[in-house]
């Protein structure tokens, strides 16, 4: 039996799918019995690098603007559906799990056409269009946040599947190695800045203001800049009196979280789940254009993060300075986040998918 995954576009879709695939392998499924469907973006390189077979399809997402290119979408979806359905029949696939994004609709339609059992996973508190369209056809709609369960049918709240190094995170065990990795002295309180895989210009700019205000004898900055902004931010860091370490991209995120005493970031679904799994206090600036406010609310309502709208970005340096000077509050925030963690999502999904396949 082959298990199929459809995930494309961004790490927010692709990495959870890979985590579930790895969990299936840990339960005895061979990697040869797993196939991924996607487009020509990061998944085309990331999935094969992880050791899984990848089948590319010609598909893209709906443009938000009134673009003439949207008129071609029905044809693209139809052709992608046929391509995926043919592959499902050829590989005797009985289970398809989709993770949102533009490849999910043809993958879900192909599953229905071939009789494969359909599962979906929604990473965000506000479900995307593809998953909303497909949830009525899914055996289970796995969701990361309780808010999403009210908007999708057959929902089960499991959390976001995370890589094993974060699902089993141990701050104390990693702390010394993390400080050594980034060459940060043990006595310094560390602000970790996380802008996402492509960086976040507004966070990079506000970090410069923070660096100008904090005491260099007490505070260090560990800054994941994103590749596009690394040169500019590194130049600023080199001129600063603060210990300010810049990294374009960190593959081993457990070290970043182990080094950081407080995190500044966006409120992407995986970021929020990682903050919970690692018990990391944070200030987050949700990206309203992709409805990140709902993700932030999951931890903000229990006090583990402070959510600040981008229109109020001037508040960020003040909040950060207050947190850095208040270790007891940071400990309370860490405990609040840990209490909301769901680190075993990948294992839970793999177990339920296997059980469903056995009875399908």
Residues 221 and 148 in one domain: no
Mean predicted confidence (pLDDT) in 173-181: 98
Q: Is the pLDDT of residue 74 over 80?
A: no
Residues 173 and 229 in one domain: yes
Residues 76 and 26 in one domain: yes
Structure tokens at 253: 């995120």
Tens digit of each residue's pLDDT (9 = 90 or more) over 86-123: 999 999 999 999 998 889 999 999 999 999 999 999 99
Query: Which strands form 117-122's sheet, in the order they lie side by side?
Result: 53-56, 34-38, 2-6, 93-98, 117-122, 140-143, 155-157
Residues 333 and 190 in one domain: yes
Residues 175 and 199 in one domain: yes
Mean predicted confidence (pLDDT) in 269-278: 97
Mean predicted confidence (pLDDT) in 206-227: 95
Task: Please tell me the total number of residues recorded for the chain in this structure.
Answer: 360
**Phi, psi angle pair for 107, to nearest 5°:** -65, -40
Residues 107 and 24 in one domain: yes
**Total number of domains constituting the chain:** 2
Residues 6+ apart with CB under 8 A from 120: 97, 98, 99, 100, 104, 108, 131, 134, 135, 138, 140, 141, 142, 152
Residue-averaged pLDDT of the chain: 92
**Secondary structure of residue 303 in the 3-state scheme:** coil
Q: Is the pLDDT of residue 64 over 70?
A: no
For the entire predicted model, the pTM comes to: 0.93
Q: What is the pLDDT of residue 67?
A: 43
CA dist., res. 243 & res. 253, Å (int) = 20
336 - beta bridge partners?
A: none
Which CATH number is 207's domain given? 3.40.50.2000
| 234 in Cβ contact with 225 (< 8 Å) | yes
Residues 223 and 303 in one domain: yes
Residues 215 and 151 in one domain: no
Residue % of the chain over a pLDDT of 70:
94
Residues 27 and 67 in one domain: yes
């Amino acid at each position: 039996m082959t298990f199929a995954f459809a995930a494309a576009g961004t790490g927010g879709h692709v990495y959870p799918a890979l985590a579930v695939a790895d969990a299936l392998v840990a339960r005895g499924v061979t990697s040869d019995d797993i196939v991924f469907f996607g487009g020509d973006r990061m998944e085309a390189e990331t999935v094969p690098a992880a050791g899984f077979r990848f089948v590319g399809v010609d598909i893209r997402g709906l443009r938000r603007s009134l673009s003439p290119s949207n008129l071609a979408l029905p044809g693209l979806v139809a052709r992608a559906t046929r391509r995926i359905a043919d592959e499902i029949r050829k590989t005797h696939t009985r289970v398809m799990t989709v993770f949102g994004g533009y490849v999910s609709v043809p993958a879900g339609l192909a599953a229905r056409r071939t009789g494969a059992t359909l599962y979906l996973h929604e990473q965000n508190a506000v479900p995307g269009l593809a998953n909303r369209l497909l949830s009525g056809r899914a055996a289970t709609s796995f969701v990361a946040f309780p808010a999403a369960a009210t908007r999708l049918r057959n929902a089960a709240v499991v959390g976001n599947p995370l890589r094993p190094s974060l699902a089993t995170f141990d701050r104390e065990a990693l702390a010394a190695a993390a400080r050594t990795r980034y060459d940060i002295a043990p006595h310094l309180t560390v602000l970790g800045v996380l802008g996402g895989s492509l960086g976040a210009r507004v966070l990079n700019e506000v970090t410069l203001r923070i660096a100008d205000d904090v005491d260099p004898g007490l505070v260090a900055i560990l800054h994941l800049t994103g590749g596009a902004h690394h040169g500019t931010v590194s130049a600023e860091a080199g001129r600063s009196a603060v210990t300010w370490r810049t990294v374009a991209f960190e593959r081993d995120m457990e070290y970043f979280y182990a080094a950081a005493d407080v995190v500044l970031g966006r409120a992407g679904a995986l970021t929020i789940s990682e903050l919970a799994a690692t018990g990391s206090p944070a200030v987050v600036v949700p990206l309203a254009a992709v409805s990140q406010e709902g993700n932030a609310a999951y931890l903000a309502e229990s006090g583990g993060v402070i959510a600040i709208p981008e229109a109020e970005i001037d508040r960020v340096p003040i909040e950060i300075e207050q947190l850095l000077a208040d270790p007891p509050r940071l400990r309370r925030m860490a405990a609040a986040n840990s209490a909301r963690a769901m680190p075993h999502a990948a294992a839970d999904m793999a177990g339920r998918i296997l059980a469903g396949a056995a009875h399908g």
